[in-house]
Chains A and B, each alone.
Chain A
Amino acid sequence: TQQTKIKIKRGPKSCRKLKETRVKSEYMRLRQLKRFRKAEEVKALFQSNRRRIEGRTELLNEEWSKLRIQSIPLSTTSGSLSSKKLCMVESGFPSFPNQAVAMRPLTTVAGIPFMYSWSPLQQNFMVEDETFLHNIPYMGDEVLEQDEAFLEELIDNYDGVHGDREGGFINDEIFKELVEALSQYSDPEEEEEEEPSERTENKEEEDEKGMQKTTPEGPEESKVGFFKRKRRSTAEGEYKDLLEPPSPVKLPPLCTPSMDGPFAKSVQREQSLHSFHTLFCRRCFKYDCFLHPFHASPNVYKRKNKEIRMETEPCGLDCFLLQKGAKEFADQNMQRSQRPRRRRRQPRPSSSCGPTPSGSGEEGKEGDSDHETTSSSEGNSRCPSPAKMRPGEEGVEESDSPPQWSGAEESLFRVLHGTYYNNFCSIARLIGTKTCREVYEFAVKEMLIHRVPLEDGGISPQKKKRKHRQDVNTPLPDNSSNQVYNYQPCDHPEHPCDSSCLCVMTQNFCEKFCQCDRECQNRFPGCRCKTQCNTKQCPCYLAVRECDPDLCMTCGAADHWDSKQVSCKNCSIQRGLKKHLLLAPSDVAGWGTFIKEPVQKNEFISEYCGELISQDEADRRGRIYDKYMSSFLFNLNNDFVVDATRKGNKIRFANHSVNPNCYAKVVMVNGDHRIGIFAKRAIQRGEELFFDYRYSQADALKYVGIEREINIV
């Protein structure tokens, strides 16, 4: 039967062969095209870069020429230097004239040590673990055997090497183009397609065979075969998917339209503030900061201290307070809103955010349907977009609320209501387009509508991130006291900080970022020094912490924001009061760091900045660095390592010495461990800086094994 089958398939096979070659050539052509296009692109980029650089250089040179300074000497063919030294090329043939060009001597320039490129940084920068090896480290032109073994082992540590083609040889773009190109020849194919069932079966079989005999036919064939199969099985759908143009207006479900835009929708408070709440870093005061992968869980932004400035005075003649019953309404809601505050330690504190039970009822629910039911007046918005018009949804109230509320206004009201409660005068002022009377009326209406049972929103779903951020799993700490773990704000609303608290477990103090009570036993009280906080008299200094500008109010850490002169000497890292450092070839090895101005003993010199990487990542990177014999890894705590290889500051060039003039100290600075480099003795200007890398005796080149010198009390 086998034989007959094969015979039968002869016909289609030759046809298929033809098609295969066609596919193959098409594919190669497309790839070629793509490569050319890419090369062109790079060329264009390169040239635009050149132009930019030239422009910039010109600009700089112009600036320089205006200054009273030495200009950069241009190596022009100056006549004065024409010492008539010529470089001649003489040829034996008379017909060729001798060629001569003036020799121009160049002064020797002393070489400088080797340096890999790096980016400047003044604060640590957290990066994720690299599961892919970005490049295979260069080990010299001839690869030694031991290097080869090393590389193999290295690659084993990673999931793969960047640039390896994952998922086959074809990507969506080429696939699409290929199908389009092939559709021109579709005529013979069509005939075959008439008997799809048999064909697919055949194909399958044949492909298997093709796979088996890849060796003689070469990889191309198998590729095509593979491609074909893929195309048969899933290609159709994929292709259709790809053909669909990505809809520009389509937004992910959780994304609310811009409040200032024309498409603003009426949504709940939580939704309006969702992006701000989730992306804001409470510790860096930035959105999506570089240092703290963890962002607020909902109760982090729960208000802690409510200050409600109730305006008892009517704001004007038309103030809502002059209306009948308005004052009572406001007062009543005030009480209500305060009630949940007293019950703060209740299981679902998120619900207490809202001023009224109805205020945050809908949180967590997504989708349009929600809005359509809850915000009845949305249809009245002036939104010009026809798609958003929902005339059918108009509520009954439309008749008795003549002022129309747009979606933005409604959302804004809900947001502000959560902050200002029934201070409708302020709300109106902030909304800007409505009077307080209107606001009041709207509030009354909202109250009626939202009197629905509380729905447990719980934790609203996390923002979808553009990339996966690794969860930092804090390992269970050892009992040994010299282990230092990274600080993470604790968040256990039900019970006070006890042995189950993260901070207590990791032997860290609770910081202002923790969710625990201000009077928590585990909180560090700060200092009340009136001196410089540079002796062990200062509790902060003793605990190897920098003074907290929100805790230590007397030492000066909390004021003089504008000047570099602070009475407290224990807040230099956070303020970045580093010394001016200079870079020059070292007297010892490679590059070195030199100080511009003299410093006193124990003065802060600079922070050792770099990428904050996990210990695992440091192990992987360290392997390569060890091989290169140059490492910028610095152990920060049990969880993290600072790597100044790719990003850093000038102190990264300070060399190791057993008799150093500087020392490194890991200090807790407002919840972050940071590495400060301090003067071990008085240092003269122009001296090279050294500190003890603390290599262990055994593996002086195993850079990660840096022993630390702090013991947090």
Chain B
Amino acid sequence: MAPQKHGSGGNGFYANSGASKAANGGAHVSSGVVMTSVKRPKMEQVQTDHELFLQAFEKPTQIYRFLRTRNLIAPIFLHRSLTYMSHRNSRTNSKRKCFSVNDLLFKAEKSKVDQESHNMASNLQLTFTGFFHKTEKPLQNSENEENSVSVEVLLVKVCHKKRKDVSCPVKQVPTGKKQVPLNPDSSQTKLGAFPTLVVPSQEFEPSNGHMVKSYSLLFRVSRPGGREHNGVTTRDTSMNVMEELSNRKKRYCSNQDDGETIFVAQMTVFDKNRRLQLLDGEYEVSMQEIEESPVGKKRATWETILDGKWLPPFETFSQGPTLQFTLRWTNDTADRGTAPVAKPLATRNSESSTVDSGKPSNVKPPHAVAVNESVGADLPVRREQTHVEPRQKLRVYYQFLYNNNARQQTEARDDLHCPWCTLNCRKLYSLLKHLKLSHSRFIFNYVPHPKGARIDVSINECYDGSYVGNPQDIHCQPGFAFSRNGPVKRTPVTHFLVCRPKRSKPSLSEFLEPEDGEQEQQRTYISGHNRLYFHSDSCTPLRPQEMDVDSEDETDPAWLREKTVMQIDEFTDVNEGEKEVMKLWNLHVMKHGFIADNQMNQACLLFVEQHSTTIIEKNLCRNILLHLVSMHDFGLVNTGTIDKAMAHLKPQKDGQEQAKTQDDLFKQTKSSKDTFSTSDLRKLKSRKDCLSVKDSASLFAIKHFGLVRFFYIFEQF
């Protein structure tokens, strides 16, 4: 960034408002401050304290300075849509109530008709608002006579080349000369008082001898005030293009000469294809100073040469010289006074003029030459008459506290810009609200002050910068964007887009230092799963697609199944058939989670149904019968269930028996796992069961792997 030179006329903070702050960002805190509470005695300690203080405030300031720039380039929200900044919003919604879709069509049609009617039939009416050219002094000493310039308008007709002509013949038709106010204050001038000039329609008619190729208007402004000598400093404008238009700097021109200065500018009315270039609207034309020949530079461009340097096109508008006028195509030459004065589009900080409204030299710069197409009375004229009324100059003292000591006090006179992001809040309430909400790394406390307000600024120790967005945005690895295998699921997070809390009346008292007991009810505006969850068993992060699976959904975790089997196996006086039935039944009950006596009949039937193959495989029919009889003894099932269950097993068993090779003994002595030797469809199924049991075992092993490792280490010693 180019070094910043402050305006010479600046008096401290006040003069530093606007663009300089924009360029300088938060650094102004240290630049335009007045030391207050520095005492002599312990110099070193004070020095170090001060260093610490600066360090403490430096980082947040830098952060907010960065955020400000980012918000300019890519705004997340518009300040004007905030409730407490409603005065920044220039449009009203009043028309919405009576809006109907038909109006759109009507409007479109009307404008079309208007455009068509522009053709040669109507006169061109120019109403001059003023000539703006900034000088160092607002010319207070040279009163009225100096406050106007004369504007001459010539209609330049460029004719078609004839055979012998070297260049296109040019005809200049003077249309009139008017006295135009110099640097008028737009808020103070009456609407009807502007000088108006009319170019009659016949001038544009093609019948004047030559075939006219194009028409253009040439403005020639002669200013008696003398030659321009610009004291403009070079500035790095690349960053603040947006600001330039509004936060204009004062420019200091010295009018030393007595001679007349002439500025010219040219605008095309009809181009060579006879297309209308100048529609109704408000215009501001950048003027070019010429000395030698009045009609010299025909090809003046938007870029202007200033002191031998090219300035960006928009630069001129903040510095002048510019001529402002309203252009209308009208059939009626009489209604000259009714030319509406529309307010140009307000830019971000354009309202700053109201702050400076006390100064007559400050002029509100319009946006661009060809803006504001619709001149009609559509745009509400919202002049801040309330602000203009004489008002006590508000002083805001920023008192920076560190270690409960005031370290520094900065005074802002009648300036309600936010010191960190140069946002013009325009009201003390808005400023405080903005500071509180947007710069939460600091604590702002409002203290009433006879001359205005004192704002105590201290570091917010509680600021944790905790993230309240989608956790996936932080926790997903950067490389994930390319390693995804199609669309992926994201953590569901609810963002509050609209929240209408009960608003209390805006009152400055809410910024007073809070009482102790009165804790602010901090509301989270993002609810839902705005954090990263973990698997309860492995402590690994839970990915969004795993959200819907509850690890606790199963009532019979693998280890518990294993445990019950082991417990049963540990009995020494229970025979193997009983054990098998008990294990099967336990797993069955655990899986289905039976809780009521009256479920037992169903449970038994389901058991037999689901495990029939295993039961027959392991030759457990009689033990099952014993189990059922035992259940009956407990009064849990009736004989009907026993009959049904055994009937279900019977046909399968018979079928199996036939397939069976030979004696029971062989089978019995072998362990149950070996029974897969004979191939059978059913057996395959039961093998599958067995596999799943193995799986659970391995899971179990994984779980206890840590334990084993521990033992392993232990054994190493």
Interface residues of chain A, those whose CB is within 8 Å of chain B, are 35, 38-39, 42-43, 45-46, 49-50, 52-53, 55-56, 65, 67-71, 73, 107, 112, 115, 117, 119-123, 251-252, 254-262, 264, 272-273, 275-277, 279-280, 282, 284-288, 290, 296, 300-305, 307, 309, 353, 384, 408, 412, 415-416, 418-420, 426, 429-430, 432, 463-467, 512, 549-550, 558, 561, 574-576, 578, 580-585, 594, 596, 649-650, 670, 684-687
Contact of B635 among A275, A305, A578, A583 (CB under 8 A): A305
In the assembly, what is the distance between CA of A260 and CA of B476, in Å? 59
Asked if residues A273 and B630 are in contact (CB atoms below 8 Å), the reply is: yes
Determine the chain B residues whose CB is within 8 A of the CB of A52 once the complex forms: 698, 701-702
* 12 further A-B pairs in the complex, CB-CB below 8 A; given A68-B486, A275-B573, A466-B572: A56-B699, A70-B484, A120-B551, A259-B577, A261-B575, A272-B626, A275-B578, A288-B586, A415-B626, A419-B633, A549-B595, A686-B529
Determine the chain B residues whose CB is within 8 A of the CB of A115 once the complex forms: 539
CB within 8 Å for A583 and B533 given contacts A112-B539, A262-B664, A685-B528: yes
Q: How near does chain B come to A675, taking the closest CB pair, in angstroms?
A: 16
Asked if residues B535 and A574 are in contact (CB atoms below 8 Å), the reply is: no
- Identify which of residues 663-717 in chain B touch chain A, using a CB-to-CB cut-off of 8 Å: 664-665, 668, 698-699, 701-703, 705-706, 708-709, 711-712, 715-716
Asked if residues A419 and B639 are in contact (CB atoms below 8 Å), the reply is: yes
CB within 8 Å for A412 and B486 given contacts A580-B550, A594-B533: no
Determine the chain A residues whose CB is within 8 A of the CB of B536 once the complex forms: 120, 583, 650
Q: List 4 tightest A-B contacts by C-beta distance, closest first.
A: A258-B577, A549-B596, A276-B630, A466-B570
Determine the chain B residues whose CB is within 8 A of the CB of A408 once the complex forms: 622
Contact of A258 among B534, B593, B623, B711 (CB under 8 A): B623
Contact of A285 among B527, B636, B699, B706 (CB under 8 A): B636
Q: How near does chain A come to B550, taking the closest CB pair, in angstroms?
A: 5
Q: How near does chain B come to A510, taking the closest CB pair, in angstroms?
A: 15
In the assembly, what is the distance between CA of A334 and CA of B529, in Å? 68
In the assembly, what is the distance between CA of A178 and CA of B203, in Å? 132
Contact of A301 among B577, B634, B699 (CB under 8 A): B634
Q: How near does chain B come to A553, taking the closest CB pair, in angstroms?
A: 9
Asked if residues A582 and B595 are in contact (CB atoms below 8 Å), the reply is: no
In the assembly, what is the distance between CA of A596 and CA of B703, in Å? 26
Asked if residues B564 and A261 are in contact (CB atoms below 8 Å), the reply is: no
In the assembly, what is the distance between CA of A304 and CA of B638, in Å? 12
Determine the chain B residues whose CB is within 8 A of the CB of A256 once the complex forms: 575
Asked if residues B550 and A670 are in contact (CB atoms below 8 Å), the reply is: no
Q: How near does chain B come to A270, taking the closest CB pair, in angstroms?
A: 10
Determine the chain A residues whose CB is within 8 A of the CB of B535 once the complex forms: 583
Q: How near does chain B come to A330, taking the closest CB pair, in angstroms?
A: 16
Q: Residue B543 at the A interface, CB < 8 A?
A: yes
Q: Residue B585 at the A interface, CB < 8 A?
A: yes
Contact of B599 among A49, A467, A561, A687 (CB under 8 A): A561
Asked if residues A426 and B639 are in contact (CB atoms below 8 Å), the reply is: yes
- Identify which of residues 617-655 in chain B touch chain A, using a CB-to-CB cut-off of 8 Å: 619-623, 625-627, 629-636, 638-640, 642-643, 646, 650
In the assembly, what is the distance between CA of A526 and CA of B531, in Å? 44
Determine the chain A residues whose CB is within 8 A of the CB of B537 once the complex forms: 120
Determine the chain B residues whose CB is within 8 A of the CB of A465 once the complex forms: 571
Determine the chain B residues whose CB is within 8 A of the CB of A264 once the complex forms: 622
In the assembly, what is the distance between CA of A251 and CA of B715, in Å? 37
In the assembly, what is the distance between CA of A463 and CA of B589, in Å? 23
Asked if residues B626 and A273 are in contact (CB atoms below 8 Å), the reply is: yes
Asked if residues A463 and B555 are in contact (CB atoms below 8 Å), the reply is: no
In the assembly, what is the distance between CA of A38 and CA of B717, in Å? 13
Determine the chain A residues whose CB is within 8 A of the CB of B574 once the complex forms: 255, 275, 279, 463
Asked if residues A73 and B572 are in contact (CB atoms below 8 Å), the reply is: no
Q: Residue B455 at the A interface, CB < 8 A?
A: no
Determine the chain A residues whose CB is within 8 A of the CB of B527 once the complex forms: 684-687
Return 5 A-B CB contacts under 8 Å, by A number. Answer: A52-B698, A55-B698, A288-B567, A430-B646, A594-B529
Contact of A259 among B476, B532, B533, B622 (CB under 8 A): B622
> Which of B478, B572, B664, B668 has the largest number of chain A CB atoms within 10 A?
B572
B545-566: CB near A (< 8 Å → 1, else 0) gives: 1010011101111011001100
B485-513: CB near A (< 8 Å → 1, else 0) gives: 11111000010000000000000000000
CB within 8 Å for A384 and B665 given contacts A426-B643, A583-B533, A686-B531: yes
Q: How near does chain B come to A66, taking the closest CB pair, in angstroms?
A: 9
Determine the chain B residues whose CB is within 8 A of the CB of A288 once the complex forms: 564, 567-568, 571, 582, 586
Interface residues of chain B, those whose CB is within 8 Å of chain A, are 476-480, 483-489, 494, 527-537, 539, 542-543, 545, 547, 550-552, 554-557, 559-560, 563-564, 567-568, 570-578, 582, 585-586, 589-590, 593-600, 603, 619-623, 625-627, 629-636, 638-640, 642-643, 646, 650, 664-665, 668, 698-699, 701-703, 705-706, 708-709, 711-712, 715-716
CB within 8 Å for A273 and B596 given contacts A384-B665, A408-B622: no
Q: How near does chain A come to B651, taking the closest CB pair, in angstroms?
A: 11
Asked if residues B626 and A285 are in contact (CB atoms below 8 Å), the reply is: no
In the assembly, what is the distance between CA of A120 and CA of B711, in Å? 23
Main DSSP-derived SS at the A contact region? loop
Asked if residues B594 and A464 are in contact (CB atoms below 8 Å), the reply is: no
CB within 8 Å for A260 and B589 given contacts A275-B578, A466-B572, A561-B599: no
Q: Name B649's closest neighbour in chain A (CB-CB).
A: A432
In the assembly, what is the distance between CA of A20 and CA of B479, in Å? 70
Determine the chain A residues whose CB is within 8 A of the CB of B650 once the complex forms: 432
Determine the chain B residues whose CB is within 8 A of the CB of A112 once the complex forms: 534, 539
In the assembly, what is the distance between CA of A28 and CA of B487, in Å? 65
Q: How near does chain A come to B73, taking the closest CB pair, in angstroms?
A: 28
In the assembly, what is the distance between CA of A429 and CA of B530, in Å? 65
Determine the chain B residues whose CB is within 8 A of the CB of A296 once the complex forms: 634
Q: Name A574's closest neighbour in chain B (CB-CB).
A: B595
Asked if residues B708 and A45 are in contact (CB atoms below 8 Å), the reply is: yes
Determine the chain B residues whose CB is within 8 A of the CB of A303 once the complex forms: 632-633, 635
In the assembly, what is the distance between CA of A257 and CA of B622, in Å? 12
Determine the chain A residues whose CB is within 8 A of the CB of B621 once the complex forms: 260
In the assembly, what is the distance between CA of A67 and CA of B485, in Å? 8
CB within 8 Å for A273 and B629 given contacts A49-B705, A255-B574: yes
Contact of B483 among A35, A73, A107, A464 (CB under 8 A): A73
Q: How near does chain B come to A115, taking the closest CB pair, in angstroms?
A: 6
Determine the chain B residues whose CB is within 8 A of the CB of A550 once the complex forms: 596-598
Q: How near does chain A come to B471, taking the closest CB pair, in angstroms?
A: 9
Contact of B560 among A121, A432, A561 (CB under 8 A): A121
Q: Name B530's closest neighbour in chain A (CB-CB).
A: A686
Asked if residues B633 and A49 are in contact (CB atoms below 8 Å), the reply is: no
Asked if residues B572 and A70 are in contact (CB atoms below 8 Å), the reply is: no
Q: How near does chain B come to A597, taking the closest CB pair, in angstroms?
A: 10
In the assembly, what is the distance between CA of A275 and CA of B582, in Å? 10
Determine the chain A residues whose CB is within 8 A of the CB of B478 once the complex forms: 107
Q: Name B492's closest neighbour in chain A (CB-CB).
A: A685
Asked if residues A584 and B534 are in contact (CB atoms below 8 Å), the reply is: yes
Contact of B528 among A35, A467, A686 (CB under 8 A): A686
Asked if residues B665 and A262 are in contact (CB atoms below 8 Å), the reply is: yes
In the assembly, what is the distance between CA of A305 and CA of B633, in Å? 9
Determine the chain B residues whose CB is within 8 A of the CB of A561 once the complex forms: 599
Q: How near does chain A come to B333, taking the closest CB pair, in angstroms?
A: 70
Q: How near does chain B come to A94, taking the closest CB pair, in angstroms?
A: 41
Q: How near does chain A come to B708, taking the closest CB pair, in angstroms?
A: 6
Q: Name A432's closest neighbour in chain B (CB-CB).
A: B650
Determine the chain B residues whose CB is within 8 A of the CB of A420 once the complex forms: 639
Asked if residues A46 and B708 are in contact (CB atoms below 8 Å), the reply is: yes
In the assembly, what is the distance between CA of A384 and CA of B550, in Å? 54
CB within 8 Å for A286 and B564 given contacts A73-B483, A260-B619, A549-B598: yes
CB within 8 Å for A254 and B485 given contacts A259-B623, A684-B527: no
Q: How near does chain A come to B397, taking the closest CB pair, in angstroms?
A: 38
Asked if residues B643 and A416 are in contact (CB atoms below 8 Å), the reply is: no
Asked if residues A42 and B477 are in contact (CB atoms below 8 Å), the reply is: no
Asked if residues B480 and A73 are in contact (CB atoms below 8 Å), the reply is: yes
Asked if residues B533 and A42 are in contact (CB atoms below 8 Å), the reply is: no
Contact of B705 among A42, A53, A353 (CB under 8 A): A53
